[in-house]
Amino acid sequence: MTQRLDALHHRATALRRHVIGIAATQYCHLGGSLSCAEIMAALFFDVLQLDDTAARRRDRFLLSKGHAVHIFHAMLAERGLIDANELPRSGQSGSRLAGHPTKRAPGVEFATGSLGHALPVAVGMALAEQLDGSASRTVVLLGDGELQEGTVWEAALAAPRFGLPNLLAIVDYNRFQSAGAVDDVVALEPLADKWRAFRWQVREVDGHDLGAVLAALHAPPTAATPTVLIAHTVKGRGVPGIEGTARAHYTQLTAEEAARTLAALEATP
């Protein structure tokens, strides 16, 4: 287990390094990419079964918080699906890496951007798999600010009516949105109670504790309804002086800030 966690920790660090590389060249949605590095590492290097040839189970992942696309692209590079050299050229002429997930990039199940779209779609995917009696899981990663979109709650209300224990929603609860602290814009609390009231199974976890994240993602459903994993995270996690601040949402790093961050990542055990 320790070895497995170490490997995932290295993946998470590698994902962060890629994202820092992008943020050193351009303004980007840095904070929301870094806050879900452990979640993405655990999903894509341990939990999800993405092999198309495994007919019995082929999991799906939807990045509902599409602006966190950089961590997704970093994951593609780590999996060897794109060249890491493409990352700093994101958004430039001729690049296939846009500022939100698009079908130009490999491995994008569902193109997002406008918030609040992926949970209803994930409900449909999970429903199809349930109808077919397959073991495939559908996982959708939501932002916390995104939970201000009504469609999230519309789909959350409807989903348990169909069962769907094969559906997992993850909330990257990093506490900041474009205009500032989520609590100051439109607060979400009591968040776990809201999902419970909507008849979802609720789990909460420190989103940077890989062991806890991994256990939560692997835990089988305890009822015949969907599960939400509320991951408490830090916006811009890993960038000294910027993590946990409003600036982390959308920013560019100076050469000095990038260098300092990369050094800090190296120093982390």
Partner 1 sequence: MSGYASALSGVKVVAELAAADARVVLVSQDFGAIRGFTERFPQRHIDVGISEQTLIGVAAGLAHAGKLPFVLGMAPFVTMRGFEQIRDDCAYNRNDVKFIAPFSGLEAGAWGATHHAIEDIALLRTIPGLTILSPADPAESHRAIRAAATIDGPVYVRLGFLKPIEGYDAPFTAGEIVELRPGNDAAILATGSSVAVALAAHVGLAHDGIAARVLNVHTLKPLDRATIARAARDTGRLVTVEEHFIDGGLGGAVAEILAELGTGRLRRIGVRDRFCTEVAPYPELLRIHGIDAASVVAAVRELVEG
Closest CB to partner 1 among residues 80, 150? 150
Q: Give CA 230 to chain center in angstroms.
A: 12
Residues in contact with partner 1, total (CB under 8 A)? Answer: 30
Contact (CB, 8 A) for 182 and 230: no
- Between strands 60-63 and 138-143, the pairing is parallel
Q: Choose which of 113, 163, 211, 221 interacts with partner 1 (CB under 8 A).
A: 113
We find the least distance from the C-beta atom of residue 266 to partner 1, in angstroms, to be 39
- Which segments of the chain are extended strands (E)? 60-63, 138-143, 167-173, 176-177, 180-181, 201-206, 227-232
Phi-psi region of 91 (alpha: psi -120 to 50; beta: other; left: phi over 0): left
Sketch the per residue contact string, 69 through 108, with partner 1: x for CB under 8 A, - otherwise: ----------------------------------x-----
**204 binds partner 1, rule: CB under 8 A:** no
**257 binds partner 1, rule: CB under 8 A:** no
Closest CB to partner 1 among residues 127, 262? 127
> Which tokens belong to 17?
């390094």
We find the least distance from the C-beta atom of residue 126 to partner 1, in angstroms, to be 8
> Which tokens belong to 133?
């009696």
Sketch the per residue contact string, 153 through 172, with partner 1: x for CB under 8 A, - otherwise: -xx-xx--xx----------
**63 binds partner 1, rule: CB under 8 A:** no
Closest CB to partner 1 among residues 176, 198? 198
**114 binds partner 1, rule: CB under 8 A:** yes
Nearest to 119 by CA among 192, 172, 187, 168: 168
Q: Choose which of 50, 84, 127, 212 interacts with partner 1 (CB under 8 A).
A: 127
We find the least distance from the C-beta atom of residue 141 to partner 1, in angstroms, to be 15
Q: Choose which of 88, 99, 107, 120 interacts with partner 1 (CB under 8 A).
A: 120
Q: In whole angstroms, how far apart are CA 244 and each of 65, 144, 204, 250?
A: 18, 14, 19, 13
**67 binds partner 1, rule: CB under 8 A:** no
Nearest to 210 by CA among 34, 38, 14: 38
Strand partners, 177: 180
**3-state helix vs strand vs coil in the chain, percent to 5:** 45, 15, 40
Contact residues for partner 1, defined by CB under 8 A: 60, 103, 109-111, 113-114, 116-117, 119-129, 131-132, 150-151, 154-155, 157-158, 161-162
